[in-house]
Amino acid sequence: MIKRGKTPVTNQRQLLEKIRNHIVCGDLGPGARLPTRTEIRDRFGVSNDMVRAVFDRLLREGFVDSQGSRGTFVADYPPHLYHYALVFQGHPQESTEQPWSQHWKALADSAALLQRHSPVPRKIITYHDVNGHDDSESQRQLIRDASENRLAGVMFVNSVFVLEDSPLLEMDIPRVSFNTATVRLPQVHGVYVDFMSFIDKALDEIVAQGRRRVAALVVGNWDISCEEHWDQAIAKRGLVCPSYWRQAVAYPYSRWANEAVQLLMRGKPEEQPDAMVIFDDHLVNDASRGLVASGMQVPEQVHVVAHCNFPLQNENLLPIRRLGPDTRQMMASAIECIDRLRAHEPLPSHNIGHVPLFDHEISKQMPMPVTKPLSVSRSAPV
C-alpha cells in the first residue's frame, strides 16, 4: 500500500520519491503490483501527466515492469538490489603519472565476467575519474545514482580518502573498498589482498626449493607493515636478505626493474641471490628482461616467485612461479558483502583478506556470491 502521508505531494519529484521509497524499503517487493495510475492520481490529487511521467521514469530506471492490462509491477531485479558501482579514480586511457595497474584491470575484467556468468542479472556499472573534484561528471553521476537509490552498493578500487568531503561517504548505502589503506574506515568495508600471506607463501616456496639467499623487488610505496613482516619472515625461516637486496622501483618507471635486477645479479655466484620475490606484476616483464640480460638461468640459478592478479596473466618470459589473488573471488566477496549489508545480515568480519594463491590453486570455475539479494526491511516514510 502506498500511503498519501501527512506531507502533500505537489510536484513530480515528491511523487517519484514517495513511490520509489516504498519499493526500496521493501513495502513493495519484487513482483508486487503497484496501484493503478488512476488510484495514484486520486490518492495524491495530482494530474494524469504527472503520474504518467513518474511511472515512465520508474520503468526507464528499472524499478518497475509494465504488463499492459495486468498492471505495473515492481521489477524482479530492481536496481537498488542488483546494480553495483565499481569506482576508479582515474581512467585507463588517460596518460597519467601512475599507469593503469594490473590489479585495476583484473578487477574490471572480473566484474565483467561475474556480470556475464551470474545466475541472476546483476549489473556492475563502472565509474571512472571519481577523484574528489567537483568538475568530474562521472562523480556527479555516481552521487545522483546513489542518492536516488539506483545502486545496491559502491565498490571503490582506489583509496577513498580523496572523497572525504563527498556525500558518497555519508550516504546510507553499503560501501566496499579493495584498497588496503581504506580498511581502517568504519563506514567502508574492506576486501583486500592479504600481503602478509603473500610473503609467507612466497618464502615457504623458496625454502621448499632449497634456496636461502633472497632478493625482493618492490614498488616504491611498499607498506611499512609489509616491510616489517618481510624482515620477520626472513629471520624466522633462516633466510638471508641484506638490505641492498631489497630494491624499490617507482610505479611509473617499471623499466628500471631491468637495471635493478642486473645490479642484484652482479658479483660471484656465492654473493648473488638464489631466489627472488617480485611484489608487483607491473614489474615482472622488465625484471625478467634483467634476468635474461644478466645471464641467470631460471629456476636453476635463481628461483623466482612473482605477484600476479589472477586470472589476468602476462605472457611468461621465464619459468617463474605466479602467486596472487583471484580477483574473481575478490569481486564475488565484495558483491556478497553488499548484499548482506543491504539485508542487515551479519558479516564474518569488517574486512575480508584474500590469501594469494599459486597458479595451480586457481579454480577454473567462475566464483559467485553465495548470497541472494534481498529487500531491506526498513519502514518506508509515509
Q: Choose between 269 and 313: higher pLDDT.
A: 269
Where does a domain end: 272, 306, 324? 324
φ, ψ (nearest 5 deg) of residue 94: -85, 150
| Domain termination residue (choose one: 25, 48, 76) | 76
Q: What are 331's three cell numbers?
A: 569481486
Q: Answer yes or no: do 96 and 173 share one domain.
A: yes
pLDDT higher than 70, residue 335 = yes
- Does residue 345 sit in helix, strand or coil? coil
As a whole number, mean pLDDT of residues 58-79 equals: 95
Report yes or no on 379 lying in a domain.
Answer: no
How much is the average pLDDT of 93-116?
83
Same domain, 137 and 107: yes
129 and 174, same domain (yes or no): yes
Q: Which of 44, 76, 108 is the last residue of a domain?
A: 76
The pLDDT score that the predictor gives to residue 379 is 34
26 and 63 housed in the same domain:
yes
* CB distance 152 to 83 below 8 Å: yes
Q: pLDDT, tens digit, for every residue of 355-375?
A: 999 989 998 777 777 655 544
Residues 333, 302 within the same domain: no
Give SS3 for 299.
coil
The CATH number given to whatever domain includes residue 335 is: 3.40.50.2300
Total domains present in the chain: 3
Tell whether 43 is covered by a domain. yes
Picking from 157-171, 178-192, 280-294, 360-374, which range would have the lowest pLDDT averaged per residue? 360-374
Range of the domain at 251: 195-324
Instruction: Classify residue 371: in a domain, yes or no.
Output: no
Q: What is the CATH number of the domain that holds 34?
A: 1.10.10.10
Identify whether residues 160 and 117 lie together within a single domain: yes
pLDDT for position 135: 80
**Same domain (yes/no): 144, 226:** no
148 and 57 part of one domain:
no
Residue 271 lies in a domain: yes
Residues 199 and 229 in one domain: yes
My answer on whether 185 and 155 are in the same domain is yes
Whether 188 and 336 map to the same domain: the answer is yes
Cα separations in angstroms, 344 against 17, 173, 174, 259, 310: 23, 12, 10, 52, 31
Beta bridge partners of 190: 177, 351
Average pLDDT, rounded, for the chain? 90
Which pLDDT tens digit goes with each residue over 152-161?
999 999 888 8
235 lies in the same domain as 249: yes
Burial class (CB in 10 A: 0-12, 13-18, 19+), 93: exposed
pTM of the entire predicted model: 0.90
